[in-house]
Amino acid sequence: MNKCVFLDRDGVINKDYVDYVYTPEKFEVLPGVKEALVALKKAGYLLVVITNQSGIAKGIYTREQMHECHQLMQKEFDFMIDHIYYAPWHPTVTESLTRKPGTLMFEKAIAKFNIDTDHSWMVGDKERDLVPAKTLGIKTIQVDNDDSRMADFKALNLADALEIIFG
């Protein structure tokens, strides 16, 4: 079985904006992220991004624009990310089990990559990122935000979370 670090995108990997991140100009990688990803890969972790992209359902941006940002992200990180799962839905438009706090994106990754949930982590900046991970027995780290009592651990950012992951 494989160990994995699941990562939310906006607010963990790149700067989050209220009006969404869907253009290369707004896709700003947070400090220390690439180095943290390198350290996680060297330690044998799979890296899987799990992201809600509700701006697609709302008609704010297209899947193509999101994919352009994901390609940019993969190039920036030398294609270290093993897979990106995204949910293009929003409850005001349509319901979906894939959208966090639903567990389906996680379940797909667990099945596809034979992931050992006991030795895996979820790093997110919002409580809805943590809910599915907790449901599936994955340890959680909340970064950059103090709004949740649900997190197993809290860190300033992804680089800071390495101390927790590596013990």
Binding site listing for substrate: 8-10, 16-20, 51-54, 99-100, 126
What Rg value do the Cα atoms of the chain yield, rounded? 15
**Binding-site positions:** 8-10, 16-20, 51-54, 99-100, 125-126
Token pair 């869907």 is found at 22
- Are 124 and 130 in contact, with CB atoms under 8 Å apart? yes
Per-residue DSSP letter, 167: -
Token pair 């209220």 is found at 18
**Binding-site positions for Mg(2+):** 8, 10, 125-126
Residue 20, sorted as left (phi over 0), alpha (psi -120 to 50) or beta, turns out to be left
Would you call 10 a catalytic residue per the annotation?
A: yes
Residue 110 burial by CB count (10 A; 0-12/13-18/19+): exposed, middle or buried?
buried
Among candidate residues 8, 116, 129, 160, the one labeled active-site is 8
Would you call 8 a catalytic residue per the annotation?
A: yes
Q: Cite the active site residues.
A: 8, 10
